[in-house]
Structure 1
Amino acid sequence: MKTVAEILNSKPDHSVHVISPDVPVLEAIRLMAEKNIGALVVTEGERVVGIVSERDYARKMILAGRSSAVTPVSAIMTSDVITVEPKANHEQCMQLMTDRHLRHLPVVDGGRLVGLLSIGDLVKNVIAEQQSLIRHLEQYIRGE
């Protein structure tokens, strides 16, 4: 069972895109579109203060009739951010994401943001582990 650190290391792109809470929502949406991502970690210095997603935009901006050009990210971000440490395993993360209806988990080590896991990252890992197990079982059955 892989740890969060191992999953992060296997990702082709290790960068975590962050934004400041005082930036207009429009800039956050532009950055998400430019990077083809669904969420940004909101930081003040190195401290994680929130997370903002496309879902937040749809529910808290569009449906509320707010202007994304003047509304700050802090007005729509989720500020009660659930994080994990690099030593957590993928099963713990999947359980947490399922129970809390999360799609993204910031990874924090010693108070410092070190990565971001998406549900897609975890699903890819589970599929890879299952394929590996199937290969090993097939080899065992064939007597290899």
Structure 2
Amino acid sequence: MRIVAQALAAKAQEKTHSISPDATVFEAISRMAEKNVGALIVQELDHLVGIVSERDYARKLVLLGRASVATPVSAIMSTPVITVTPKESTQRCMQLMTQGHIRHLPVVEDDKVIGIVSIGDLVKEIITEQRDLIEHLQKYIRGE
């Protein structure tokens, strides 16, 4: 069974992006666009206080007619944040995402955010796990 640490290793080149709760929503959306990500960790003094996503922007700002330049991230961020450890299974992460209707999970170790996994990251890991299993079974059947 594959674990979150393997998904993070596959993303080794990618940095986890964060923003302050006092930043404006406009700054958050600009950073997401610049970094080509769908969510940002919201941190205050290196402490996880929330997560803000494109979905939060659409549902809590745009649909309510608020202005992104005048609204702080803290007003639309999701909290409390569902987190996982690097040892969590990808299957469990998919369950958490399905149950919570979320697309991003911060990965926390020793009370510190060490990464974030998206639903896309987990799908890649599950596909890799299934491909490895199929390959193993084919070798077994062939007597290798």
Specify if TM > 0.5. Answer: yes
- Structure 2 CA distance for aligned equivalents of residues 63 and 2 of structure 1: 38
- Stretch of structure 1 that moved more, 61-70 or 90-99: 90-99
Q: Aligned residue for 2:138?
A: 138
Aligned-partner SS, 2:122: helix
Deviation of residue 143 (structure 1)? 2.4
Aligned-partner SS, 2:81: coil
Q: Aligned residue for 1:129?
A: 129
- The alignment status of 1:63 with 2:63, answered yes or no, reads yes
- Structure 1 CA distance for aligned equivalents of residues 132 and 6 of structure 2: 16
Q: Aligned residue for 2:26?
A: 26
- Give CA deviations for 1:84-135 in whole Å, capped at 9, x if unaligned: 1112111111111111111000011111110101111110000011111111
1:28-107 map, 5 Å: 28-107=28-107
Which aligned runs of 4 or more in structure 1 are off by greater than 6 angstroms?
none
For 2:120, the aligned partner's letter is G
Percent of aligned positions that are identical? 60
- Structure 2 CA distance for aligned equivalents of residues 142 and 3 of structure 1: 29
**5+ long unaligned stretches in structure 1:** none
**5+ long unaligned stretches in structure 2:** none
For 2:69, the aligned partner's letter is A
8 Å Cα contact 2:61-2:67 kept in structure 1: yes
- Structure 2 CA distance for aligned equivalents of residues 3 and 138 of structure 1: 24
- Structure 2 CA distance for aligned equivalents of residues 49 and 26 of structure 1: 19
- Structure 1 CA distance for aligned equivalents of residues 38 and 86 of structure 2: 21
Aligned residues: 144
TM-score (norm 1): 0.95
